[in-house]
């Protein structure tokens, strides 16, 4: 394993985080808050450590899938560790497990919180929580790839490890240019949303927090009432942009490149929109008696469907009080998630569609044993490697899910609380149901449950495999064997 390049990339992550901490520091200075010194202290430590680790560019810049997965997993752990330090230093979230849970929830764009009353937090902490969504939405390593060209095309392994979806492709031949294009689209869409919210007379601070959360499909709110306090126009803007950020960003690239037919020919996009439309209609009809008009019921249904399927987790109403039929639909949407290549979580629409196609093929093979049918998705044949990866993901996903449910059940909450808590964290959604519903939080859970859910959030955001590779003994066995034999730190590429 090439440890040199891993350490070098971790150094860059620390340097980038030191710069990103300027956002809460500036916010604290504007509002005259002493918490800004806590963010300054962490930024200084991050910057110094980052400079030390990345002071010399390694000669061997080549890394493969294993190095890419390990770099991404360790990078997110380092990012989260230093990101939670200001919470503890300021005393706003004094316990390490709670602080770590909060910031991991932020960076993974989950939006689950252990804070009972968010309006009691400083403005610096509120903006840092929401800004962490924006950072994690596209991925900090994708940003680093945009500014730090590596040798050859091996940095594709990092992009594949950090970008959500069953497969990641290059929009243009060079990874660095692809990363820049992704972040440009991401930034422009965020700015447009902020402007539209400001036009709707939402305060600037709230506009920033809501836009960071919607862009990253996060879910942290800066108000105790969530999004219920905002106007219908403001809620509509948030709902539409949540839906837009759940679309594969390659579609936006095709639109910018004026390849309209290719953009709207996207099979996953059509499936995504059909699922949203069907869910909105069914829920609106089911809950219409709870609202004064059909217009209002469709508005609330659209907002919640948009929020849940994109795994953002914003809420305008307590949907835990909705009829069981509507809650079941939302629970199903939690697992489906948004499109691959978006900032959303969940299993992804593309995986669900491919799994159904594979099941349909197997059923057809039983009925017509001699028939030969090639599975296609987005007009391309689904190869054996893709189907093998899909099946492995589904098996690993449900293994982690049910093991997590078993461990969290030790807290002895009702089944819906336990089940939805794991579902919301593994799929990076935010609110669950029952005791962890949209008007509640996760503070009452034990440290064991919070630790399990921290793992679930990271595993869900990184699509399971990078975290599992990091924890696999085989990943480190050969490296530590070399350490023992030679007594010095070296990396092995293979």
Please tell me whether 111 is known to bind a ligand: no
Please tell me whether 109 is known to bind a ligand: yes
Please tell me whether 218 is known to bind a ligand: yes
Please tell me whether 481 is known to bind a ligand: no
Find where tokens 């990103």 sit: 20
How many residues in the chain? 494
Please tell me whether 425 is known to bind a ligand: no
Please tell me whether 432 is known to bind a ligand: no
Binding residue numbers for K(+)? 109-110, 218, 311-312, 428
Binding residue numbers? 109-110, 218, 311-312, 428
């Amino acid at each position: 394993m090439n440890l040199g390049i891993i350490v070098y990339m971790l150094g860059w992550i620390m340097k980038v985080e030191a710069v990103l901490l300027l956002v809460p520091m500036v916010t604290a200075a504007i509002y005259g808050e002493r918490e800004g010194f806590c963010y300054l202290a962490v930024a200084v430590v991050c910057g110094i450590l980052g400079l030390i680790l990345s002071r010399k560019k390694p000669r061997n810049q080549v890394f493969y899938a294993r190095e890419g997965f390990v770099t991404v997993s360790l990078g997110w752990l380092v990012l989260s560790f230093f990101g939670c330090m200001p919470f503890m230093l300021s005393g706003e979230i004094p316990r390490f497990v709670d602080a770590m849970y909060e910031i991991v929830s932020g960076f993974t764009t989950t939006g689950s919180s252990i804070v009972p009353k968010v309006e009691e937090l400083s403005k610096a902490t509120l903006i840092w929580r929401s800004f962490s969504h924006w950072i994690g939405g596209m991925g900090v390593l994708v940003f680093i790839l945009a500014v730090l060209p590596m040798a050859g095309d091996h940095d594709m392994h990092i992009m594949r490890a950090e970008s959500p979806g069953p497969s990641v492709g290059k929009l243009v031949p060079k990874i660095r240019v692809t990363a820049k294009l992704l972040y440009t689209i991401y930034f422009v869409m965020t700015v447009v949303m902020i402007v539209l919210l400001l036009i709707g007379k939402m305060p600037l601070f709230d506009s920033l927090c809501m836009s960071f959360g919607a862009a990253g499909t996060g879910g942290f709110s800066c108000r105790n009432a969530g999004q219920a306090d905002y106007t219908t126009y403001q809620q509509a803007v948030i709902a539409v942009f949540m839906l837009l950020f759940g679309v594969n960003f390659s579609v936006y690239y095709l639109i910018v490149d004026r390849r309209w037919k290719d953009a709207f020919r996207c099979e996953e996009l059509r499936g995504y929109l059909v699922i949203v439309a069907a869910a909105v209609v069914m829920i609106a009809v089911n809950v219409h008696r709870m609202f004064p008009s059909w217009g209002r019921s469709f508005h609330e249904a659209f907002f919640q469907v948009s929020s849940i399927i994109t795994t953002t987790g914003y809420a305008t109403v307590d949907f835990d009080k909705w009829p069981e039929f509507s809650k079941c639909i939302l629970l199903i949407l939690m697992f489906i998630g948004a499109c691959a290549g978006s900032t959303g979580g969940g299993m992804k629409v593309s995986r669900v569609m491919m799994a159904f196609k594979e099941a349909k093929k197997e059923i057809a093979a039983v009925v017509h044993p001699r028939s030969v049918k090639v599975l296609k998705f987005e007009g391309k044949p689904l190869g054996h490697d893709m189907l093998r990866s899909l099946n492995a993901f589904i098996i690993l996903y449900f293994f982690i899910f049910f093991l997590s449910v078993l461990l969290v059940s030790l807290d002895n909450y009702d089944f819906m609380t336990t089940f939805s808590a794991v579902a919301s964290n593994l799929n990076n959604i935010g609110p669950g149901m029952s005791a962890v519903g949209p008007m509640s939080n996760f503070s009452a859970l034990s440290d064991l449950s919070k630790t399990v859910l921290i793992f679930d959030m990271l595993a869900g955001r990184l699509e399971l495999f990078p975290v599992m590779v990091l924890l696999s003994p085989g990943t480190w066995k050969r490296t530590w064997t070399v350490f023992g034999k030679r007594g010095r730190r070296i990396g092995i590429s293979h």
